[in-house]
Structure 1
Amino acid sequence: MNAQSPTVYRAAILHFLSDPDVDGENAYQFFEDGALLIENGRVLQVGEAEAVLASLSSDIPVVEYKNHLIIPGMIDTHIHFPQVEVIASYGEQLLDWLNNYTFPAERQFEDKEYASNIANFFLDELLKNGTTTALVFGTVHKQSVEAFFEASEQRNTRMICGKVMMNRNAPEFLCDTPESSYQDSKELIEAWHNKGRQLYAVTPRFAITSTEEQLQKAGQLMEEYPDVYMQTHISENKDEVAFVQELFPDSKDYLDVYDQFGLLGKRSVFAHGIHLTPREHQRFRETGSSVSFCPTSNLFLGSGLLDIKELEEEQVAYSVATDVGGGTSFSMLQTLNEAYKVTQLNGNKLSALKSLYLATLGNAKTLQLEDKIGSFKEGNEADFAVLDFNSTPLMSLKQSKCKTLAEKLFAMIILGDDRAVRATYVAGNCVHDRDNSSASQTNQNKEVGAA
């Protein structure tokens, strides 16, 4: 953490204590005129501005964001940094999309310099969109993950990343072996897991691209390093599900393939999960594993509509993610916009409060990181985003007609994108400022971005 003197950030402030669908108004704190006190990269206090300021020395600097909303930094639980240039590629469903677009793009990441350039671009895009933590796929190349962690360490972002393990059903130039994938992953874990704010995820791409021997090696890593993460894909596309059954004819279902090798647990995140069976829901529930809901990707690739109400009824933990580059936006606001529509198509509702809970504390909980990020609890790392209620003329007009907090938040989700993110802070340091003026000034009562 960078040492910092105490600073107050004043704006409307919202953060969550629990799930608003369960605990209603007791699930969140909203301060229309709020103050967030930060010191040494951590939250010291949050509350009504009048009360917080009255308790502090008058020489503590105050940065004011008038007509803005401060929320915890948003969290993305499934995204591919090597697929930045693959975003918006036309016309395919999952398996053809991988072969025609993704695999050729990922070949370039054998070049460390190329990987570094994309990693820097990728992290800047996340921060521009108010996302401060993500669970990230690298490529099969060890150096792609080294490049990513180096870029993340430079920004002091809390990131989770892993080297793809893939030894079949992919181009030869992208295949490793069970042993090399184990050794490369082990070396990356030793070098980067829990180094500063960096964390590691064991990353078999999906069952189709790993042999049983490689999945066994993934399980061995999980056993040797019990606090690392595991990320992969499951039941995204019906053809994929059928192919997995062909490759693993003795498995009970898709999830059972991973289960046999010890890959389920509270730090295991399975992207998509659209076509799961009741038995798979049961194993998710029993092991505490979670599904990552990727609505923009599921719509773009024609994969299907994940029913999050069914997951809730089955008590399956889930989070929300962009899945760039199958996903079509780095913005969690745009991702929540599409999540609302998918939920509507399934005949249900997704409220604005639940949406922002998922993007912050809810996603932190699925990553077992709620003691560090996702809310403004005292002692948490001070990652936050400043959202602008007047970011575009249309947003401004709509907000002027909104009468309740829920209406204002819903308009922000449906109309918002990177333009709505006025500034992003990581461990109390301003790492993105939309208007290129320093939002981390220490002049007392400096007013920023007043409408």
Structure 2
Amino acid sequence: MPSVAAPLPTSKSTKRAFYGTLVHSLSLTEIEYLEDALLGVDERGTIAFLEKSVQQDQVDARLQAHGWAAGEVQVIEMQRGEFLMPGLIDTHTHAPQYLNLGYGQQYELLDWLSNLTFPAEAKFADAAHARRVYDSVVERVISAGTTTCCWYGTIHSTTKILAAICHRRGQRAFVGKCNMDRNSADYYQEESAQKSLADTEDYVKFVRARCADPEAPTPAAKQNGGTVGGKTPRRSTALVQPILTPRFAISCSDELMSGLGDMMDRDPDLPLQTHLAENPAEVDFALSLYPGIESYTAAYDRFRLLRRNTVLAHCVFLSASELDLIKARDSGISHCANSNFNLRSGTARVADMLDKGIKVSLGTDNSGGTAIGILSALRSASTASKTIIFHERDKKPETASSDDSVINTDGISRPAGFFAQSHLSVETLFYLATLGGAQVCNLEDRIGNFVVGKEFDALLVHTGQKTIASAAAANGGASIDDEIEKALASGESVLADGVDNPALMLEPDEGIERVFEKFLFTGDDRNLRAVFVRGRQIGGREIL
């Protein structure tokens, strides 16, 4: 497969049909594997139909039955080891920090901010620097399969450049200009709360005016004459949305926090992202600023910033009452395990969050995190959950009443403490990376899995798995003596034989469940044949 950069998105999508294997999440505990499936994506970028168990010789007839005549649709037939999956959703990362990836291992959070992060972000006052770096960062993140991203910019108006680049490249994105008017570096702090709020209002207007999508599809819920999960669809259908971004309570004065709450009161469709309880020193500092307040989380609630469209990053050190408050406000959490390990912050108790029925997703939090893409975040989340389990395996488990149950974020009722009984499963991790991210972004009525009427944000994955027939021919039934002689003799490189990713090792007879799990834990951008957002190809190694 050639390594070719995909084209930038055109103004319109192409009508496409995909035939082969589809993998998507149905719930926190169930992945659906569909082989011999036929999925149609219309010109608006929405999923027009999904049929199961279609034989190859039936594809043309099934397309015609949907009124899709030959010649007006591009049919993409997936080979063995290829599959479609929903696009990955990163609910927390910092675009201006990517140049620091892998640097600063000696620091914890607050020293890391002072010594590395604030100096790096201050450089983004320069518009040329901002455009050069942001263009590279967004392209790299798309190439890793991130179709939706919650971006932090800087305090500067150059954050508009980041939003513009996301818009041009076709990524679905929430892009925020940081608010910071206290307790930051002298050279990197806004002059006043009033100036911060005025600049934020100007930024929001810019994004909504210049990054709009004039021909965006109607959300699936509105097409069906109602809502999904009792939620009212967002008014705006633009791929790129502004998001309020108070860095954290430490860096925002009461006046600034109150002003942001006022903005959300006036415009309930305006989301907000911030940090919460990432590091013990941060928690202590935040509490010192609010004497008498019951918790760090309550500080945000005091200013009306905990809402259904609030994204809270990290949440490593939260009490049960704080989790209850987040659940009551229907706010979402972005779990950033890679960063939490790297900055020695701690291990967030995601299972407890899920058992409370809280919306949870995954974030890379670069450059606190050290790798591009949500596959890395998924793997770190798995390790974090296993770390919690083996540290607590000798404790006597708390037993809940058999009558106790919780309606989890996927709408399914399960026994209390269900997720805390074990480490996070593959099914749960995949949910957090896709549908969970859609929920935290309040986009579950539009993206997250392959439901008819939703928009087609997807990855076409190529694993390089060989067919059973070709493998049988290569084996040839030779004797052990023959194989010993071959082993002693020089031979061709295995890696030169069409192996795109040396870390992803597959046998021809492995089924899709095993292939998919191996991809989640050893795959990378080399396995992404194409990346789609709203039906348009915006990345991938091959131009389709």
SS at match of 1:33: strand
| 8 Å Cα contact 2:14-2:535 kept in structure 1 | no
Deviation at 1:37, TM superposition (A): 1.4
SS at match of 2:203: helix
CA displacement 1:89-121 (0-9 Å, x = unmatched): 121110011111100000111112211222211
SS at match of 1:32: strand
One-letter amino acid of the structure 2 residue matched with residue 13 of structure 1: L
Cα separation, 2, equivalents of 1:20 and 1:233 = 25
One-letter amino acid of the structure 1 residue matched with residue 426 of structure 2: A
Cα separation, 2, equivalents of 1:286 and 1:256 = 12
Deviation at 1:53, TM superposition (A): 4.2
One-letter amino acid of the structure 2 residue matched with residue 314 of structure 1: K
Equivalent residue number for residue 196 of structure 2: 181
CA displacement 1:58-103 (0-9 Å, x = unmatched): 3332123322121111110001111111111121110011111100
SS at match of 2:244: strand
Equivalent residue number for residue 224 of structure 2: none
Matched, 1:264 2:306: yes
Q: Which moved more, 1:150-159 or 1:298-307?
A: 150-159
Cα separation, 2, equivalents of 1:302 and 1:288 = 28
Identity of matched residues, %: 30
| 8 Å Cα contact 1:138-1:161 kept in structure 2 | yes
Indicate which of 244, 255, 258 corresponds to 2:286. 244
Cα separation, 2, equivalents of 1:33 and 1:378 = 17
Matched, 1:42 2:46: yes
Equivalent residue number for residue 31 of structure 1: 34
Cα separation, 1, equivalents of 2:241 and 2:430 = 24
Inter-CA distance 232–132: structure 2 relative to 1 (3 Å threshold): same
One-letter amino acid of the structure 2 residue matched with residue 65 of structure 1: M
Equivalent residue number for residue 421 of structure 1: 528
Indicate which of 110, 117, 120 corresponds to 2:132. 117
Inter-CA distance 388–351: structure 2 relative to 1 (3 Å threshold): farther
Deviation at 1:332, TM superposition (A): 1.1
One-letter amino acid of the structure 1 residue matched with residue 18 of structure 2: Y
Equivalent residue number for residue 11 of structure 1: 20
- The structure with more helix, counted as a fraction of residues: 1
- The structure with more strand, counted as a fraction of residues: 1
Matched, 1:431 2:444: no
Matched, 1:55 2:59: no
Indicate which of 358, 361, 381 corresponds to 1:339. 381
SS at match of 1:142: coil
Equivalent residue number for residue 78 of structure 1: 92
| 8 Å Cα contact 1:353-1:409 kept in structure 2 | no
Indicate which of 77, 81, 88 corresponds to 1:64. 77
| 8 Å Cα contact 1:2-1:427 kept in structure 2 | no
Deviation at 1:401, TM superposition (A): 6.6
| 8 Å Cα contact 1:267-1:366 kept in structure 2 | yes
Equivalent residue number for residue 383 of structure 1: 457
Inter-CA distance 272–20: structure 2 relative to 1 (3 Å threshold): closer
One-letter amino acid of the structure 2 residue matched with residue 44 of structure 1: A
| 8 Å Cα contact 1:352-1:409 kept in structure 2 | no
| 8 Å Cα contact 1:169-1:208 kept in structure 2 | yes
Q: Which moved more, 1:210-219 or 1:32-41?
A: 32-41
| TM-score normalised by L of structure 1 | 0.90
| 8 Å Cα contact 2:19-2:39 kept in structure 1 | yes
Cα separation, 2, equivalents of 1:373 and 1:241 = 34
Larger Rg: 2
One-letter amino acid of the structure 2 residue matched with residue 380 of structure 1: K
Cα separation, 1, equivalents of 2:193 and 2:272 = 16
Cα separation, 1, equivalents of 2:186 and 2:60 = 62
Cα separation, 2, equivalents of 1:162 and 1:83 = 14
Q: Which moved more, 1:374-383 or 1:119-128?
A: 374-383
Equivalent residue number for residue 443 of structure 1: none
Cα separation, 1, equivalents of 2:313 and 2:363 = 9
Matched, 1:364 2:427: no
SS at match of 1:78: strand
Matched, 1:195 2:195: no
SS at match of 1:183: helix
Cα separation, 1, equivalents of 2:107 and 2:461 = 35
SS at match of 1:395: coil
CA displacement 1:190-246 (0-9 Å, x = unmatched): 222482221111110001111111111111111121111110001100011011111
| 8 Å Cα contact 1:334-1:416 kept in structure 2 | no
Cα separation, 1, equivalents of 2:323 and 2:32 = 32
Deviation at 1:403, TM superposition (A): 4.4
Equivalent residue number for residue 446 of structure 1: none
Deviation at 1:381, TM superposition (A): 2.1
Deviation at 1:426, TM superposition (A): 2.2
Cα separation, 2, equivalents of 1:20 and 1:318 = 11
Deviation at 1:402, TM superposition (A): 4.0
Cα separation, 1, equivalents of 2:503 and 2:128 = 41
Cα separation, 2, equivalents of 1:401 and 1:345 = 33
Aligned residues: 428
SS at match of 1:249: coil
Cα separation, 1, equivalents of 2:282 and 2:13 = 50
Deviation at 1:353, TM superposition (A): 2.2
One-letter amino acid of the structure 1 residue matched with residue 36 of structure 2: D
Cα separation, 2, equivalents of 1:430 and 1:260 = 43
Unaligned runs of 5+ in 1: 440-451
CA displacement 1:256-278 (0-9 Å, x = unmatched): 11111000011001100000011
| TM-score normalised by L of structure 2 | 0.75
Deviation at 1:311, TM superposition (A): 1.1
| 8 Å Cα contact 1:38-1:45 kept in structure 2 | yes
| 8 Å Cα contact 1:46-1:52 kept in structure 2 | no
One-letter amino acid of the structure 1 residue matched with residue 454 of structure 2: N
**1:93-108 → structure 2 map (5 Å cutoff):** 93-108=108-123
